[in-house]
Amino acid sequence: MLIGIILSGESVLDILLTLIAVLAAVFFAIVLHEIAHGFIALKNGDPTAKFAGRLSLNPVKHIDPIGLILMLFVGIGWAKPVPVDSRNFRSFKKGMFTVSIAGVTMNFILALFSFLMLGVMSVIPASALVNNVAYAVYELFLMFFLYSTLINIGLILFNLLPIYPLDGYRIIETFAPDSRYCRFMRRYGSRILMAVLIGSYVLGRIYPPLDLFGIYMNLSWVERLILLAWG
């Protein structure tokens, strides 16, 4: 969980730098995810998100307090869903599909950019860190790109779950909006999602292999890929 990472610093400066890096990574991952949904909806003919002020970098307009708390303490969370009115789409299927994948596509772009920037950071020579300030700035950006990579990959995996109201469900809804599955999810999906999150956590404390959500969201392979690529 992110709050544990933040508090694990060996000094006040370490804790402060980690806090800034994590909050910045969470901010860009969540806010740009929602802006992407609203922007693509606008391009498809629906200005609802624009009129609601959701095409803004102002975090107050996007952050859901519960979602942010869960992100910090559990490792996964959400922002306020961007309002979308599919009746305004010029093409329903094209609009629904492109809006549905816009958020995770943005997270993928952010993860890829952050991953590549870790490579850039890895080749900065130690001689360039001439004083404590330069080293602190270097450490801050290094942590930001590391957590940005991990958080954005985590959000992709989470949002692709085919459970209402996540993006994975929206993709299915694009092609089968009146299916029995979609009707069931619209009615019970939110409760199912909370049951999955809470149930997996509780069962995982009893017997780790039962934490199916935790296993699915395990990002150790991303950390190994970063180490393999950049050392």
Q: Is 5 a residue whose pLDDT tops 70? A: no
Residues designated as active site: 34
Residue 4 pLDDT grade (very low, low, confident, very high; cuts 50, 70, 90)? low
Dump strand ranges (E) for the chain. none
Separation between Cα atoms, residue 68 and residue 152, nearest integer Å: 14
Q: What is the pLDDT of residue 219?
A: 92
Q: What is the pLDDT of residue 47?
A: 96
Q: Is 79 a residue whose pLDDT tops 90? A: no
Separation between Cα atoms, residue 69 and residue 78, nearest integer Å: 9
Q: What is the pLDDT of residue 127?
A: 76
Residue 42 pLDDT grade (very low, low, confident, very high; cuts 50, 70, 90)? very high
Helix (H, G, I), strand (E, B) or coil at 78: coil
Mean pLDDT within 83-95: 93
Helices (H) and strands (E) in the chain, counts: 10, 0
Among 174, 3, 6, 170, smallest CA distance to 77 is for 3
Separation between Cα atoms, residue 49 and residue 83, nearest integer Å: 5
Among 39, 168, 47, 182, smallest CA distance to 100 is for 168
Q: What is the pLDDT of residue 9?
A: 65
Separation between Cα atoms, residue 7 and residue 115, nearest integer Å: 24
Q: What is the pLDDT of residue 81?
A: 86
Task: Give the contacts of 19 (CB within 8 A, at least 6 positions apart).
Answer: 6
Among 84, 8, 2, smallest CA distance to 43 is for 84
More confident residue, 125 or 155: 155
Q: Is 231 a residue whose pLDDT tops 80? A: no
The pLDDT tens digits of the residues spanning 127-178 come to 778 788 888 899 999 999 999 999 999 999 999 999 999 999 999 999 999 9
DSSP string, 114-158: HHHHHHHHHTS-GGG--SHHHHHHHHHHHHHHHHHHHHHHHHHHH
Mean pLDDT within 46-70: 88
Q: Is 71 a residue whose pLDDT tops 80? A: no
Among 146, 140, 141, smallest CA distance to 15 is for 140
Q: Is 37 a residue whose pLDDT tops 90? A: yes
Q: What is the pLDDT of residue 3?
A: 59
The most confident of the ranges 49-63, 71-85, 102-116 is 102-116
Helix (H, G, I), strand (E, B) or coil at 63: strand
CB 8: neighbour CB atoms within 10 A? 10
Two tokens, residue 177: 């909006």
> Both ends of the chain: CA-CA distance in Å?
23
Q: What is the pLDDT of residue 6?
A: 62
Residues 126, 128, 131, 133, CA torsion sign:
negative
Residue 223 pLDDT grade (very low, low, confident, very high; cuts 50, 70, 90)? very high
